[in-house]
Chain A
Amino acid sequence: GENVEQHPSTLSVQEGDSAVIKCTYSDSASNYFPWYKQELGKRPQLIIDIRSNVGEKKDQRIAVTLNKTAKHFSLHITETQPEDSAVYFCAASKGSSYKLIFGSGTRLLVRP
């Protein structure tokens, strides 16, 4: 079955710097890759997603890149702000209405 690995497990950056989180997946049939942000005690919230027919997607300070050949995808946050501090999860699926396989999460701390 699908396996998703996520790195790093923790990431500390200075406010204004960029943050990059990387994930790899094992099932070449996966074609949908969302990223979720989860604040302590709250629900996971979808922040951006990408499908296998594109290589990059951007939404303001957040971007995601996908390399299907290497089976890895990355989340890029630019100009980080303290409110970006949270746990970020990547996930992989065979479609947006199929089960998601999540990575183990990255705890991002943005230092003011």
Chain B
Amino acid sequence: GAGVSQSPRYKVAKRGQDVALRCDPISGHVSLFWYQQALGQGPEFLTYFQNEAQLDKSGLPSDRFFAERPEGSVSTLKIQRTQQEDSAVYLCASSGRGEGGYTFGSGTRLTVV
């Protein structure tokens, strides 16, 4: 596609509910990143994929967070047993080979009530 697409755009979850956030990167981009952006803060790194391989998951805040990219294109970020502190915008970004830099998606705003 022309850009990085994320869905849903907004998600309201009750505390304890599981959620799944989807990212469709730019076609052909091998690198895919997930970031969490709390209100008024800069994005914070969660995890990174190169094709289907998850090369860095050091930013995932707890074992309730899980990400996958099984076929090296679409990625899903899953949060189990959501808590209020998980409320944030979850941004996905992709980049291709070479030095083009990232393209971010519009994000999914998660509100846990």
A: residues with CB less than 8 A from B are 6, 34, 36, 42-46, 49, 51, 89, 91, 96-105
Contact = CB atoms under 8 A, between A and B. Distances in A.
Interface string B89-113: 0010001011111111111000000
A97 to B, nearest CB: 5
Chain B, interface residues (CB within 8 Å), range: 20 to 34
A99 B45 contact: yes
Contacts, number: 54
Interface of B: 30-31, 33, 35, 40-45, 48, 50, 56, 59, 91, 95, 97-107
Nearest to A104: B42
The prevalent SS among residues of B at the interface is loop
A66 B44 CA distance: 23
A43 B101 contact: no
Contacts of A104: 41-42
Contact of A96 (B45, B100, B106): B100
A98 B32 CA distance: 10
Which residue of B42, B50, B105, B107 has the most chain A CB atoms within 10 A of its CB atom? Answer: B42
A44 B91 contact: yes
Nearest to A101: B45
11 contacts: A6-B42, A42-B106, A43-B104, A45-B104, A49-B101, A96-B98, A97-B31, A99-B48, A100-B33, A102-B44, A104-B41
